[in-house]
Chains A and B, each alone.
Chain A
């Protein structure tokens, strides 16, 4: 076998190893129900849940509670399967939180509560304002 062939085989092996390890280390997008099942079966890997903030009929966000220290907070999130879940986040509220259209929480269940380590927001409004500040 030529040296260059060995070389190519080694490269392919490394590339495959990278793909396999990436997929193994990957987190996954799941619903709250699945996340709960995973947690109770002992899998502690942090997962992603996508959903919306709970809103009342007039479109106002409801269920946000500030901690007594006014720094940490909790909120109610509705996942894509429609399940409501109270999510705790022990850091200050991220910028744009209330205005976000879609929320991704990364974290896991501790008992019955979902604790988020990180929150990602999707705000179409960040770059594309949807409504006008009319009259201003």
Chain B
């Protein structure tokens, strides 16, 4: 039965939230332009109530959509295309923002929350700021409106509450309009990762937070309060900078753990689209702080704060309109909203720029020339470098949009991103990063001390020499000989040491102001971490056997990948490594289980334990117990040994999903200074697994030893059995199972071939397979008179797997640097928050 009510309710909430946002916009607008105090209060109250209604409706949409997903109402397109019944509860949450509509919803949700915070905390700015908020919300809500204008055939928005039969023109719906699929299509296995539960909400909170400074800026221009908007906007910019940065890094960590390009950053257009606004956001924080202290850089702050929000909209446009189609692996496809997205982008761009131009002449700016030895000068240079750094990424990332633009005017443009994006962007970005490193070291001194040339040299001498010394030592140990890398290393160390010196002196006098120094230490650490983990990432899975894996593969693949046969040790990265075999994972317990320890059933998710299953000396399942597994995942157990002792075990994963294809995820061994990162670069294919030799027929005495593929084997028992895989055998058949023990190099294996003899019809043969030894044995006859049995022995290559492994030095420095940076942001935020409370008690905000 189709659950119409819940979808209608959801749709009702969507319409309510859209209308309420428009009403809130109108009321707040009136409240801002009305002079009469009483009327103003009336409009404000109106606006507030409508925004609360809007926020409640947004919450309502979220709850209804979640109910649909949670209860598996597959008559709804959203639930059908993004989830299935097997999905664990926490991934149902990621389902929520897997589709475009859901991620818009997430974004709206954060805007609504932030809007309420503004209403509750800010008296003076509520009217104009909430006007901007409401109009943004109206635009966003329209994206999920899902209304088709009659007559015009114009679709506005794409609703998450659309029924499957309306979304997919499948013939089954003409025959059976009430058809509901039994199960959904499932969630992309790549997204079934805990980072995907927390990364999108963090990123979208960062996106949403950039609206706050933008709104304050527009409010300031609108009310001609050119100076006053900076104060309340600054803490929000800091908040946005911290959260957006954290969100980006989480995405990087997800990619590091889940994808196999061997790093955390790939310069994919989708990544660039958030990286650029973040850089500009950081630049805007710097100019705003400068303005607060010295009345300069106000115009620059206005330009940058507006740019950040426009860039956020632009990145939304790029990733969701389908423009990036040919250029990015993971952009969304067009939902027919590209026109609407473009309108959204252009509306705010035109309004904001027009407002800035109209007011430009009135914006106060300082007439005095800035001195080269002033802190303003150096911070301004820093902000400029950040902007250019962003601009360098923005230009190539915009090629696809540029091509479309040129083509829509009838021209031809076929620019594409360079083939090797990582190399291309890195070669430019490193120079900007070096500049940022030096500026963060020097700029901070200017900030805290009024100094001239002599004093500067005095102050900087110590850190400079220390950093130089540190750099020389590291260069010699780590063999950093690339000129750019040497400079970046030095710049990073210089930043860390200078800022540590400043931090030391600030902590003595006023610890509350230490945010800047702490944040810049974080930046320095990040630069060093990025330099080593990316610049000195080294392939260690070098093929030193002198034999090619395959002649058809490229020379590079043959050189940089290691073919491991099961139980044949190889040397790699100072370890002796040995491939042990394929493993599966139980759904509700942690651990890895041998494939041969379980018997499969008709349901791919359910298996039966053949014997007691232990993992790390802990009993997981008793013999005969049924339990669930994740059939998509296979893990490849690889032991890493030193001096004969197992140091650690890795389980790189291969995920096979008929809808999304194969995906190899690495396993990473973290040490303080080094990550060892391995993944499956070529698994043994199903064809290779079934590539058996012609059988060798063997008739042996039941108690005799025999050779199978050169391994010694004996028949342990020969018994009649009455059920197979939990199924009773029909009485017209006789089934005999042989238990054959085969002694491998490392351990003993058991093959259990079964012979089924039919008394009325034909029987069958079920061979026993030992993939680790490349051995298949069938029982084809028993001769009770002579106490003999006849076996067919098939052989193939032993199980193998090809891996690629990389060493990533000092990745931890990057993660630690990020945490330090976030701490710096938090300290700065606390300080600005105290400032705000002071202003509030004075009644100025």
- From residue B109, how far is it (CB to closest CB) to chain A in Å? 21
Tell me which residues from 82 to 117 in chain A have a Cβ below 8 Å from any Cβ of chain B: 90-92, 94-97, 99, 102, 104, 106-107, 117
Set B188, B399, B414, B418: member contacting A126, Cβ < 8 A: B188
| CB interface residues, B 394-434, toward A, < 8 Å | 395-396, 399, 403, 414-419, 424, 428
Chain B minimum-CB-distance residue to A18? B392
B140-170 at interface with A (beta carbon < 8 Å) = 164, 168, 170
A26-B418, A106-B419, A136-B183 as given contacts; A71 in contact with B329, CB under 8 Å: no
Q: Which of B332, B396, B414, B687 contacts A127 (CB 8 A)?
A: B332
Chain A residue numbers with a CB within 8 Å of B182 are 136
Bound CA span A109–B682, Å: 26
In Å, the complex CA distance between A71 and B325 comes to 27
Partner of B553, one of A90, A104, A106, A129: A90
Query: How far apart sit A94 and B664, CA to CA, in the bound complex (Å)?
Result: 11
Q: Are A120 and B399 in contact (CB under 8 A)?
A: no
Minimum CB distance partner of B424 in chain A: A25
A48: chain B residues within 8 A (beta carbon): 326, 416, 419
Which of B372, B414, B688 has the most chain A CB within a 10 Å cutoff? B414
B81 adjacent to chain A (CB < 8 Å):
yes
A62 to B554, CA, bound (A): 24
Interface-located stretch among B237-245, B655-663, B759-767: B655-663
Q: Indicate whether B681 reaches chain A with its CB closer than 8 angstroms.
A: yes
Question: Given A67-B552, A69-B550, does the pair A134, B419 have CB atoms closer than 8 Å?
Answer: no
B723 within 8 A of A: no
Among A3, A27, A68, A130, contact of B369 (Cβ-Cβ < 8 Å) = A3
Question: B384 interface residue, CB < 8 Å from A?
Answer: yes
Q: Are A27 and B688 in contact (CB under 8 A)?
A: no
Is B419 a contact partner of A118 (Cβ separation < 8 A)? yes
* Count of A-B contacts judged by CB separation below 8 Å: 146
**Interface of chain B: mostly helix, strand, loop or mixed:** loop
Q: A127 CA to B331 CA in the complex, in Å?
A: 10
Q: Taking the complex as formed, is A2 at the interface, i.e. its CB lies under 8 A from any CB of chain B?
A: yes
Q: Is the CB of B81 within 8 A of A68?
A: no
Minimum distance in angstroms from B548 CB to a CB of chain A: 9
B75 CB to nearest A CB, Å = 12
A92 touches B682 (CB 8 A): yes
Q: Which residue from chain B places its CB closest to the CB of A100 in the assembled complex?
A: B661
Flag whether B172 is at the interface (Cβ < 8 A).
yes
The answer to whether A27 and B333 touch (CB under 8 A), given A69-B549, A72-B552, A104-B326, is no
A27 near B326: Cβ-Cβ < 8 Å: no
Interface presence of B391 (CB below 8 A):
yes
Q: Is B557 an interface residue (CB 8 A)?
A: yes
Distance from B624 Cβ to chain A, minimum over Cβ atoms (Å): 31
Residues A90 and B416 in contact in the complex (CB < 8 Å), given A69-B549, A132-B172: no
Among residues 169 to 204 in chain B, which have CB atoms less than 8 Å away from a CB atom of chain A?
170, 172, 179, 181-183, 185, 188
B552 touching A69 by the CB < 8 A rule? yes
**Interface residues as binary, A18-41 with B (CB distance below 8 Å gives 1, 0 otherwise):** 110111011111100000000000
Assembled-state Cα–Cα distance A123/B416 (Å) = 19
| Contact for B326 among A19, A30, A50, A127, CB less than 8 A | A50
Given A11-B384, A22-B395, A134-B170, residue A27 in contact with residue B416 (CB < 8 A)? yes
A90 near B327 with CB under 8 A, answer no
Query: Contacts of A58 on B, CB cut-off 8 Å?
Result: none
- Check: B841 CB closer than 8 A to any chain A CB: no
With contacts A26-B417, A70-B687, A90-B553 taken as known, whether A132 is within 8 angstroms of B181 at the C-beta atoms is yes
Smallest CB gap from B164: residue in A: A132
Which residues in B have their C-beta under 8 angstroms from that of A68? 550, 552
Q: Which residue of A lies closest to B403 (CB)?
A: A29
Instruction: Please determine whether B185 and A133 come into contact, CB atoms closer than 8 angstroms.
Output: yes
B370's partner among A3, A90, A135 (CB-CB below 8 A) is A3
Q: Is B388 an interface residue (CB 8 A)?
A: yes
Kindly state the separation between the CA atoms of A25 and B372 in the bound complex, as whole angstroms: 35
Whether A67 contacts B553 in the complex (CB less than 8 A), given A29-B326, A92-B682, comes out as yes
- Please indicate the chain B residues that have their CB under 8 angstroms from the CB of A54 in the complex: none
Q: Nearest chain B CB to A19's CB is how many angstroms away?
A: 6
Can you list, as one digit per residue, whether each of A56-80 has a CB less than 8 Å from chain B (1) or not (0)?
A: 0000000000011111100000000
Closest A residue to B100 by beta carbon equals A127
Query: Is B789 part of the contact surface with A, judged by Cβ < 8 Å?
Result: no
Given the interface contacts A26-B399, A90-B553, does A131 sit within 8 Å of B185 by beta carbon? no
Q: A-side interface residues toward B, CB under 8 Å?
A: 2-4, 7, 11, 14-15, 18-19, 21-23, 25-30, 46-48, 50, 67-72, 90-92, 94-97, 99, 102, 104, 106-107, 117-118, 120-122, 124-136
With A71-B802, A90-B553, A104-B326 already in contact, 16 other A-B pairs whose C-beta atoms are closer than 8 Å: A18-B392, A27-B419, A28-B416, A48-B416, A68-B552, A70-B687, A71-B553, A94-B661, A96-B660, A120-B327, A122-B326, A126-B660, A127-B81, A133-B185, A134-B172, A134-B179
Between A and B, 8 residue pairs with Cβ closer than 8 Å are A15-B388, A29-B415, A48-B326, A67-B552, A72-B554, A104-B326, A125-B659, A134-B170
